[in-house]
């Protein structure tokens, strides 16, 4: 694989370029040293999410949620399991709709939890409601172009 990937660091916001074949090695940010594809769910604000959507070479699955939402809290462990399952192939993030109302308006979020999958800079699919990890992972596999 001769192509490079760009990944936005969820800790410092810097866009990193790395060889696509090095994802298994656990790449780190060249600026702050944070892991770039660690299989964890990262809390993002609207600005950082927009940057990742525009620049990242891996698909990004975003969970729009709120702390007062029971189904959102119930799905959180399942979302984390799906993130671990797809580590190195997809990045997972959460956006708190209460703290980021601009994201809610921009993406026309009518109910939560709402999962939106972004790939190559655009929205490719949505999934509403709380789901188990296996359904979340299957949703991503069905709609994203995943690296081999």
**Residue of 9, 12, 32, 69 marked catalytic:** 69
Q: Of 49, 40, 27, which is closest to residue 85 (Cα–Cα)?
A: 40
**Residue of 9, 29, 32, 72 marked catalytic:** 72
The residues that bridge with 122 in the sheet, in sequence order, are 119
The answer to whether residue 72 is catalytic is yes
CA separation (Å) from 109 to 63, 75, 143? 11, 17, 20
The answer to whether residue 69 is catalytic is yes
* Residues recognised as catalytic: 69, 72
């Amino acid at each position: 694989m001769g192509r490079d990937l760009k990944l936005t660091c969820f800790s410092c916001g810097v866009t990193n370029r790395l060889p696509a074949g090095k994802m298994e090695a656990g790449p780190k940010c060249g600026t702050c040293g944070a892991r770039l594809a660690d299989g964890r769910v990262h809390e993002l604000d609207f600005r950082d999410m927009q940057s990742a959507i525009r620049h990242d070479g891996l698909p990004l699955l975003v969970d729009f949620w709120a702390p007062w939402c029971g189904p959102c809290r119930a799905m959180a462990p399942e979302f984390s399991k799906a993130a671990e399952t797809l580590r190195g192939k997809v990045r997972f993030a959460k956006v708190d709709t209460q703290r980021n109302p601009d994201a809610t308006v921009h993406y026309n979020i009518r109910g939560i939890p709402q999962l939106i999958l972004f790939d190559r800079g655009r929205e490719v699919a949505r999934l509403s409601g709380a789901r188990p990890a296996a359904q979340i992972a299957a949703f991503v596999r069905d709609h994203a172009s995943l690296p081999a």
